[in-house]
Structure 1
């Protein structure tokens, strides 16, 4: 085979790899909670979990991207929360949640509680109640940042914290369908800051404020030009480029009812922070495995 033929096949191979990479979701956080116990294959608990996972596939009428689902009884009951980023359209939201469900099947094949968070959605489930509960025992965030420092750190931090305070107040005042806010702020001698904050809408206004305030980026990312904090109840992110689609922060005008499957026949920043190479996302599993968190 000549050079041109080899180059052709190598090019096809590289294109294939790039296609695979682009089709994958951007993974931010994963955790299988071992202390909640395991279920056995083909058990009633597994059937309940499978039923919940399958319930997401066809609910495209939900245009606010938040799901609370319970299925099963007694020790076989599964409680699940799925949340999409507020600017994600319904079709992409469902695809992201289904990808998360498929990955959780692989990552946590028999754990009764787990969480997985992508850039566009989060899915968590547990055998205990998780609705409207702020996970104080797991007030540990996954932090990441891009490694570039602002020229004027003081001015940048002041602008960022003021922006986050405004967005946190706006998101926390959202309703039971959406607690999400985005915004931009100008910084002297720097690119503008773009930021996003979000809570699971089952939290109260006070709970959402508490969650986002605890996870404020300044705990880990002093002077960084980009950073993220991801937890089981809330998340926030900021960059010096726009990473979200313009969308109203408030709830949808005609929210669909939350789906209910029909019955079948304080951490320290040094521990929880992790620097990432620009353009990549780090994974850091935080929190004690001995403490119920999800």
Structure 2
């Protein structure tokens, strides 16, 4: 049996990851799937960066209640190295309320962690990321997370066909000029 191959650019890896999360279990959990905090660059308590980070996380949490596309980014601060860049992305099938709850939890959790200027936290329904360097337009290729779906595929050929169709649709949407092509 010949399995078709899919040529997916690295930039679409993140979209593939989100799609994979959609296929995974829908169990609600407050535990993060992955938390990456390299702790290579830290900030001092009561510093300008900490103030900017708190502002950033507050704005992202607030934006999660009003966004219709499950995504928001923000920059807090004016002068390097104290600028905080951040974003969140919720799964496409997640309601606004579930998105807000996930982002709210993520912003609280990252503030309790060590004083790192760089962090990424993944939950089943959202991802939150911040840094002291611009993270916009740059794919983070240092983090890899594999989730295993323990369910069996009963119709393998049909699964591959549907997966190929969905991936083609994702590629088309990602490459379209419209930012909200749901």
Q: Same fold (TM over 0.5)?
A: yes
The partner residue of 1:89 within 95, 107, 115 is 95
> Kindly tell me: are residues 93 and 157 of structure 1, through their superposed partners in 2, closer, same or farther at Cα, counting changes over 3 Å?
closer
Structure 2: 5+ residue stretches without partners: 1-26
Displacement over 6 Å in runs of 4+ = none
Which of 140, 144, 147 is residue 144 of structure 1 equivalent to?
147
**Aligned-CA RMSD value:** 2.5
Q: Which residue of 1 aligns with 2:161?
A: 159
Distance 1:39 1:176 in 2: 38
The 3 A distance-change label for structure 1 pair 95 and 174 is farther
Out of 36, 39, 50, the residue aligned to residue 34 of structure 1 is: 39
Distance 2:135 2:178 in 1: 15
Gaps of 5+ in 1: 1-21, 179-249, 252-294
CA contact (8 A) 2:60 2:87 kept: no
Partner deviation per Cα, 1:33-74 (whole Å, 9 max, x = no partner):
223x11111111111000111113433332112111001121
Q: Give 1:171 deviation, angstroms.
A: 3.4
Q: How do 1:53-64 residues align onto structure 2 when only pairs under 5 Å count?
A: 53-59=57-63, 60-64=65-69
SS at match of 2:153: coil
Q: So what's the TM-score if we normalise by structure 1?
A: 0.47
Between the aligned partners of 1:171 and 1:26, the Cα distance in structure 2 is 31
| Bigger strand share | 1
Identify which of 47, 51, 71 aligns with 1:43: 47
Which residue of 97, 100, 105 maps to 1:99? 105
Pair member with larger Rg: 1
Q: Distance in 1 between matches of 2:167 and 2:62?
A: 37
Q: TM-score, normalised by structure 2?
A: 0.72
